[in-house]
Structure formats: C-alpha cells, structure tokens
Amino acid sequence: MTPPRSSLTVTDLKVRAGEGEDARLLASLPHLDVAAGTCVAIVGESGSGKSTTLHAMLGLTDGLAVSGRIMVGDTDVVTAPEKALTTLRGSRVALVSQSPQSSLNPTMRLGTLMRRVLARHGIRGAVARQRADDALRDVMLDPELLRRYPHQISGGQAQRFAIALAVALRADVVLADEPTSALDVTVQAAVLQLLDRLRAEHGIALVLVSHDLAVVSRIADHIVVMRHGHVVESGPAADVLGAPAADYTRELLAAVPTLGE
C-alpha cells in the first residue's frame, strides 16, 4: 500500500464506571502499540474489559470515564470532539463485531447499507461502486449479495460483509471483537485467514479481541492477556504462547484444546 497507514497507540488507558471513591475500574491498558500491518491480540475471559477497551478506541463509552491517550495517527480519541470522532469511526477505525448478523439492520439491503456508509464518509457515485465491488471481491463475496437483506445471508457471509465495509472505507485500524465466536469452525478459519490476509495486503493495524488463545495464536504478532480489567501479561506472540510468564496465561493455554496435532 502506498499511502502511509496510521497506527494505533494506547498509553495509560483507564476506563472507569462511576465517579470519585465509588469508581470501578473496568479496563486498564498501560501501553499498546499496533503498527500498520501488524496484529495485536487482546485475550481474556468474558468481563475482562476487552470489549470496553475496544469501544474506548472508538470513543464510544457512554457514561464511562476514560483517561489516558488513544492515538489513531495524530488524533487522540479520548479528547477529540464528537464531530471528529464520527468521522474517524468507520473511515479510520472500524469495528468487526462478535455477532455479525445482528449488527446488520434487518430492514436495509446490504447494498443500501454499503452505499450509505460510504456516502457518510464522502464517497459517492462511481467511486463508491468501484470501492464496494473491490471490497467484496477482496473478501470473496458475490456482488449479487448486495441485493439481499441480512436474513438472507449466512453468518459467515455477514462477517465477511462487515469486513468488506472496513475495507471499502479504507480503515487504517480494524478492531475485531470476537469476530469468529458466532461462526462455526470451518467458517471461523476462513474469516481469520481473511483478516490476516487483509492485514498483510492493506497494511491494516488489526486488533483482535478473543477469549480463545487457539484463535489468536494463528495470526497475532503480539498478545496482551487481560483479567478483571488489568493486563496480566503482554509480549510477542511466540513468547506468550511458548513461555507464558503469568499463571493465568498458563491456565488459558491449558484450556486450549489442541487442534490438529
């Protein structure tokens, strides 16, 4: 990719619910650096603050207190005004959610959704059509799908479509929140492969959130293990998987069913 891609840098991120003495820490991330073209995985069980962290990266933390810095390129998501954030969402940071089908409006055809989302970010007409076609080809979806409603496609197709949206918008940073947990095993592998390929081809900074070490071990360069809102371990994937420092990571690793061995 020719244009330089902005990366994601998080410093001293703390997300709290409530105020003052009663404040409860939901997530804390001292440092995270996702360079363009790399994949960082955040691993932890449900309630460990993974999704909250992702939403903080989009500036979508209704009623929660966020401190620290989340830099996307030269924009600080924590302090940026709402207007700048709505532009940033989608066009620079895109989210691929854990339940692909329910994240599509049932009353809107996929093509309409694609067209409107692109138009929202100033991409219209022939350019928009070209982008949509390219993106669909990139995720290996038939353009015919654009005429369908969400209930007429499969979960795997819906997830590919969500990824296609991110690709069409040329998002620099893609946040994948348990992108495979709602899919069956064969489709899981395909979607992971797809994310991995797009990361390499488009130089996307990919943040993969999962409770499943087996999933992240396939594509992550760097792994952050979270528990109860705190980072218990962080390091290159090979180190974390090969020689885990924290007991909790060892527990998680022990819980992974070994596949294909």
Partner 1 sequence: MTDVSPTLAPPAPAPDRSAPPTPAARGGQARRLLALARRDLPATVGAVVLLAIVLAAVLAPWLAPYPGDGSHATHPLDTLAGPGGRHWFGTDAVGRDLLTRVMYGARTSLTVAAAVLTVSALVGVPLGVIAGYTGGVVKDVIMRITDVFLAFPALLLSVALATVLHPGTGSAIIAISVGWWPWYARMACVTATGIRSRGFVDAARCLGVSRIRIMARHVLPNALTPVLVQLSLDAGGVILTSAALSYLGLGPQEPTAEWGLMVQQGQDLFITDWWVVAFPGLAILLTAFCFNVLGEGLRSALDPHRELTR
Contacts to partner 1 by CB under 8 A: 58, 60, 85-91, 94-95, 97, 99, 102-108, 116-117, 120-121, 140-142, 147-148, 152-157, 160, 162, 165, 169, 183-184, 186-187, 190
Beta carbon nearer to partner 1, 206 or 252: 206
Q: How far from the centroid of its chain's Cα atoms is residue 85's Cα?
A: 17
Q: To 10 degrees, the CA torsion angle through 199, 249, 45, 155?
A: 40
Taking the complex as a whole, the smallest distance from the CB of residue 235 to partner 1 amounts, in Å, to 29
Beta carbon nearer to partner 1, 79 or 105: 105
Q: What backbone phi and psi angles, to 5 degrees, belong to 16? A: -120, 150
Taking the complex as a whole, the smallest distance from the CB of residue 204 to partner 1 amounts, in Å, to 16
Beta carbon nearer to partner 1, 95 or 225: 95
Taking the complex as a whole, the smallest distance from the CB of residue 127 to partner 1 amounts, in Å, to 18
Taking the complex as a whole, the smallest distance from the CB of residue 153 to partner 1 amounts, in Å, to 7
Taking the complex as a whole, the smallest distance from the CB of residue 207 to partner 1 amounts, in Å, to 13
Cα(212)–Cα(29) distance, integer angstroms: 19
Cα(36)–Cα(205) distance, integer angstroms: 4
Beta carbon nearer to partner 1, 27 or 110: 110
Q: What backbone phi and psi angles, to 5 degrees, belong to 119? A: -60, -35
- Strands (E) across 35-172 are located at 39-43, 64-72, 75-76, 93-96
Coil/strand/helix, residue 121:
coil
Beta carbon nearer to partner 1, 86 or 256: 86
